Each structure stands twice: as C-alpha cells, then as structure tokens.
Amino acid sequence: MPKKQKPKEISELGEFGLIEHLTKKIKLKNPSTIKGIGDDAAVVKHSGQTIITTDMLVENVHFNLMYTPLKHLGYKSAVVNFSDCYAMNARPEQLTVSMAISNKYCVEDLEDLYEGILLACKIYGVDLVGGDTTTSPGGLVLSLTVLGDLGKNQPVYRSGAKDNDLICVSGDLGAAYIGLQLLEREKEVFKVNPHSQPDFTGLDHLLEKQLKPEARKDVIEFFAQTGIVPTSMIDVSDGLSSEVLHICKNSGVGCSIYEEKIPVADVTARMAREMNLDPTTCALNGGEDYELLFTLPQKDFDKINDIDGISIIGHINPKETGCMLVARDGTLVPLVAQGWNHFGS
C-alpha cells in the first residue's frame, strides 16, 4: 500500500507561489473581463451600470469546519455573493477572493476550498479575477467581492415597493436553518461518542440548503424573459421577517404576510416539529435560504401566479397599518426581525 503523502505546508510555496498554484487553471469566460489575475489589478468593462457586493466569512462565526467540507465552503462563499448580485437584478461576472489563513491549514486544504469556488464560478459564469492572501493568528477568514453587470436592466432596490404590490418569494424557507440544527446536533453527539455515525437519510434537501445553497439565477432570467420588473427585491439571508422589514422600512410602507402562504417544505416542517420548533418561526427567523423576496404590481399577478417555485405570500399596505403576520386563525401578529444579527447579544 503506497504511503500517504505528507500535506504540503503553505510556507513551502510562499504567498505568490500559493496564488499561482491555486489560480493557474483559471480561464476567463466573460467578454467584460479584459484582464484577470496576474497584474496589479484586474480590468473589466461592463455594458451597463456595475453592481459591487462584498461578503466576509469568519471561521466559527459563519462556518464550522467540523461539519463543513472546505469544497462546500468555497462554493457557498461564492454563491452567497452571487445571490446579492441577483437581488439587484444584475448578472455576476467577476469575483475577487481574499483569505487570511492560519498555519493549521495546508496547501491541499486550500486546493479543496478553491475547487469549490471555481465550481461555483463555472456554474454561474463568473470570472475569478483577483484577491489577496495573508496570515491569520487563528482560523480562516474569507472576504469575497463580486462585480455584476446590469446590462440594459435597471437596478432593483429595496426602496421601490408601493401600496397594493404583491409580495412574492422563490423556493421554500426554513430549510437551511433546520439543516444547521441537524449538523449542530450531530456535532454534540460526536463530542460524546466519536464513533457515532449520523443517519441523514431523506434529509438531503436540508443539508444542501445549509452547506451548498444555490443563488436564484433562474428567477432573474425568468424576469427578463417575461418582462417582469420587480418594484423591490432582496435576498433572504437573515430570515423572512428581517428581509420584509428591510423592504418596508426602505420603501416607507407596511405589509401583510399570510402564514398559510409561506412556503415551507414538508421535510423542513417535519424535522422542525421533531426538534420542538415551529416551522413558521424557522421560516421567519432562520436565514441562509438565499431565496429572492420581491414585490410586483398587481398587474403582474397573472404572469406570476401559476409559476412553479414562486409563492405570493402577502401584499404591501400603507405605512400606518404596520408590518403584520396574518396567522392561520386570522390573528394579526407584528413582524419582528429576529434573524441573524452579527452584533446582537
């Protein structure tokens, strides 16, 4: 049996050698990318307005490598940025990746991380054009920035919702949160019994939504094909309640969200109840679903009503009515932002 190769230390390559090693197979795809990696800066030329968005992920704050494969982490770190770009009605085209790396990581670890990033770039048609690397006193920190091209589209802000607009959301909600609870539960079991093997049979949807989410490129393409222009839009990263309230605050309006209309997958509802959690609460406050929440004029009802994977969950009201959840029994409950807060207690 051949000996297992010793992991290669990053110090063997050095900063520039590491960058060259990780990026040597990159091939540019977009005509808007004039110059990619290899110079002091990238050069791009977009046909319309440019969208710029940045996300930072910190080990043991945003991810736990006890149950997050590095390839999945790379994929997710890119996709969550793409999602912000789609939420502005733009197409992501260029990506930069900066990393602070501790000495507990080896070259092979970073190869896995980059494999995930580059897979996301391939699937979504994005060019990796630059970034930076440095050392970290502990753990891994990722900072990714995406440039998106609006082309002939107009940007869709959070501030455009109008009275009587429909409130719509793609996909289903709460699954990523329940996936996280499953992983955290098994982590605690493993601490007690390292030989235990989790049984995730039938729970793929929950784990994929947490570990390998997808950005809703298809929804933006559907808008372009049908001529639909949302009046406002945001991606669901911090929970439905938080995102609805962002739109209402920025637009100066109120809303009614109907509990019975909120899309929750059967497997999400079942596992939530097994964990003594309320499925609606998970959808409202869980976060990390990366679905698109948007508002449309009433005139677009027929265009959207029968589209599979899009749910009309409520409507915009005058500001003075407040932001309300209409429970299944008709009770009005004020919406409260209880999703992820980086600086909350």
Q: Of 24, 100, 4, 17, which is closest to residue 56 (Cα–Cα)?
A: 100
Q: What pLDDT sits at residue 147?
A: 98
Does residue 345 register a pLDDT over 50? Answer: no
> DSSP states of 294-309 as a string?
EEE-GGGHHHHTT-TT
Please check whether residue 153 is in contact with residue 48, taking contact to mean a CB–CB distance below 8 angstroms.
yes
Q: What pLDDT sits at residue 1?
A: 46
Q: How far apart are CA 178 and CA 286, in angstroms?
A: 8
The CATH H-level (homologous superfamily) assignment of domain 166-334 is PurM-like C-terminal domain (3.90.650.10)
Computed over every residue of the chain, the mean pLDDT equals 92
Q: How far apart are CA 89 and CA 276, in angstroms?
A: 38
Residue 186: pLDDT band with limits 50, 70, 90 = very high
Please check whether residue 8 is in contact with residue 106, taking contact to mean a CB–CB distance below 8 angstroms.
yes
Q: Which of 2-11, 124-133, 197-206 has the lowest mean pLDDT?
A: 2-11
Q: How far apart are CA 294 and CA 86, in angstroms?
A: 11
- Considering the domain 15-149 in this protein, what is its CATH number? 3.30.1330.10
Q: In the chain, where are the structural domains located?
A: 15-149, 166-334
Residue 2: pLDDT band with limits 50, 70, 90 = low
The tens digit of pLDDT for each residue in 58-69 reads: 999 999 999 999
